[in-house]
Structure 1
Amino acid sequence: MTTPAINTVSWFQIGSDKPDEVAKFYGGLFGWTFAPDPNSDGYDLINYAGADGASGGIAHVPAASANHATFFVLVGDVAATVAASEKLGGTVLVPPTTSKDGLVFAHILDTSGNNFGVFTPAP
C-alpha cells in the first residue's frame, strides 16, 4: 500500500448512531464497501474502487448528537503537531492516543471550532 505524503488529508471518518444505514447510503451513492476493523471494536473500514486500501471509517457512536464527518491529516509526529496546534490557538479534544495496532491519533478544534484529526499510521 502506498503511504500518502506527510501533512496531507489522508483519512476521513463518518460517525453515526446508525452505522448500517449510513453504510447503505454511502455504498449506494458511491459504491463504497465496508468491513469491520479488526483493530477497533465499533469501527468499520471504508474502501472504494481504485484505492490501495481503506480510505476512511465509520465510527459507531451512541447517539445522534455525536454524529459527525471529519478529516484526518497524516503527520510525522502526532504529539508535536498537537503542541504546535495549541500554540496557534487550537484546542485538543482527544490527546495523542495509540490504538491496538500502533496507529497514533488525536482530535483538535481549529480556531473556528472545526474538529479535525491528525494521525501517524501503525508501524
Structure 2
Amino acid sequence: MTAYNTVAWFEIATDDPDAAERFYGETFGWKFNADTGMDYRLITTDGGAPSGGILGTGGTMPKHAVFSVAVEDVAAVCKTVEQLGGRVVVQYAASESAPANAYLLDPAGNLFGVFTPRG
C-alpha cells in the first residue's frame, strides 16, 4: 500500500548516465536495471525494490538530484503549489512507460517532484 504524501523516490538526472552509474555503483554498491522508454536506469540496493533512478537527459534538461513525493492527484498538488507561491516546471500525464508526475519549485526555488504510483 502506498503511503501518500511521503518521499517515495529520488532521481539523478545527468547528460552522462554511464558515468553516474559507475560513480554511484562503486560508491554505494547500487545496482541498475534499464527501464523501458527513455534512458532511465532503476536503482536497487541490497534492500530490494527500486527506490530511485538515473535519468539520461541527452542534454535536454538541467542536471539535478531531486526527491519525489507520492501523491494521490498530481494535478491537484500542482494547483496547490501554485496557490502557495511555488511553480510548476513541467507536468506529465500518465503513459504506458511512466506514471503521472510533475517537477515543481517551492517558493524558495528548490526543485522537487511528485508522482502518482501505478495501481
Query: Fold-level match, TM-score > 0.5?
Result: yes
What are the ranges of 5 or more consecutive residues in structure 1 without an aligned counterpart? none
Report the Cα offset of residue 66 of structure 1: 1.8
What are the ranges of 5 or more consecutive residues in structure 2 without an aligned counterpart? none
What residue is the counterpart of 2:17 in the other structure?
A: 19
What residue is the counterpart of 2:45 in the other structure?
A: 48
User: What is the percentage of aligned positions where both structures have the same residue?
Assistant: 45
- Alignment-mate amino acid for residue 5 of structure 1: A
- Contact in 2 for aligned 1:102/1:121 (Cα 8 Å): no
Q: How many residues align?
A: 119
What residue is the counterpart of 2:101 in the other structure?
A: 105
CA distance in 1, matches of 2:70, 2:6: 6
Q: Which runs of at least 4 in structure 1 moved beyond 4 Å after TM superposition?
A: none
TM-score (norm 1): 0.89
* Residue from 85, 95, 101 that aligns with 1:89: 85
Q: What whole-Å deviation, never above 9, does each CA across 1:16-72 have from its counterpart, x for those lacking one?
A: 11101110110111110001002x321111111113x11101110123972110010
Report the Cα offset of residue 13 of structure 1: 0.4
Change (3 A) 1:33 1:79: same
CA distance in 1, matches of 2:61, 2:33: 24
Q: What whole-Å deviation, never above 9, does each CA across 1:77-100 have from its counterpart, x for those lacking one?
A: 111111111110110011242131
